[in-house]
A and B are shown apart, each in its own frame.
Chain A
Amino acid sequence: RKEVEQDPGPFNVPEGATVAFNCTYSNSASQSFFWYRQDCRKEPKLLMSVYSSGNEDGRFTAQLNRASQYISLLIRDSKLSDSATYLCVVNSGGSYIPTFGRGTSLIVHP
């Protein structure tokens, strides 16, 4: 079983839609959690960290459920520019080694 699992999609949504991604992780001792965005042929860029209390940044809301070991990302009022691959990343171990999900592809169309 993969340590961090994501639905690869693609999620194909119209502009203005709300879309949610989930990610599950297997290591209960994981310490920190993130969502990254990766555009085609570019490096991943940090979108937001994820906390148990939940956090919001504009149209983006991230949640962490430690008991169920899943992380979610909600995007409201989708824009064309939101089209990208969204990576779930979990840090574990003394060196905070990152483990990546395979990414969820989002396509926002007019």
Chain B
Amino acid sequence: GAVVSQHPSWVICKSGTSVKIECRSLDFQATTMFWYRQFPKQSLMLMATSNEGSKATYEQGVEKDKFLINHASLTLSTLTVTSAHPEDSSFYICSAPGGLAREQYFGPGTRLTVT
């Protein structure tokens, strides 16, 4: 199956700093990628749709100025958490659709801890 990588796999940062997370499709091109957040013992929540060559589409309640998304190429999307706060601590996952049925291939996730 298709492979999606994420970097870093975990990060600890101080309040007020910004953190960039990369999502790469390794063996296929993705004009669309999706970013999710998952808090402990809760379900996956779609944050935004990243579109190559155009602006990201954010889900209701997700601040676009806080979670900056850039789909720089057909294999790379980045999520930058700006001015991070402890409540932003979460598991951030990306996915890219592939295959005939457009199933999602997930990155391994990035665990963010803001102190």
Q: Which residues of A pack against B, CB within 8 Å? A: 31-32, 34, 36, 38, 41-46, 49, 87, 89, 91, 95-103
Note all chain B residues with C-beta closer than 8 A to A91.
97, 101-102
**Cβ–Cβ contact B43 & A101, under 8 A:** yes
Q: Which of B104, B109, B111 is the one whose CB lies under 8 Å from A98?
A: B104
**Cβ–Cβ contact A49 & B106, under 8 A:** no
**Cβ–Cβ contact B102 & A32, under 8 A:** yes
Note all chain B residues with C-beta closer than 8 A to A99.
46
Q: Which of B1, B46, B91, B109 is the one whose CB lies under 8 Å from A100?
A: B46
Given A41-B91, A91-B102: A97 in contact with B107 (beta carbons within 8 A) = no
Note all chain A residues with C-beta closer than 8 A to B111.
41
Interface secondary structure of B, over-half rule: strand
Given A95-B32, A100-B46: A49 in contact with B109 (beta carbons within 8 A) = no
CB distance from B113 to the nearest CB of A (A): 13
Number of interface residues of B (CB under 8 A): 22
A-B contact count (CB 8 A): 57
Q: Which residues of B pack against A, CB within 8 Å? A: 1, 32, 34, 42-44, 46, 49, 91, 93, 95, 97, 101-109, 111
Name the residue of chain B whose CB is nearest to the CB of A4.
Answer: B43
**Cβ–Cβ contact A96 & B46, under 8 A:** no
Q: How far is the CA of A99 from the CA of B97 in the complex (A)?
A: 13
**Cβ–Cβ contact A42 & B109, under 8 A:** yes
**Cβ–Cβ contact A100 & B43, under 8 A:** yes
Q: Which of A44, A45, A95 is the one whose CB lies under 8 Å from B44?
A: A44
Given A43-B109, A46-B1: A100 in contact with B44 (beta carbons within 8 A) = yes
Q: How far is the CA of A98 from the CA of B42 in the complex (A)?
A: 17
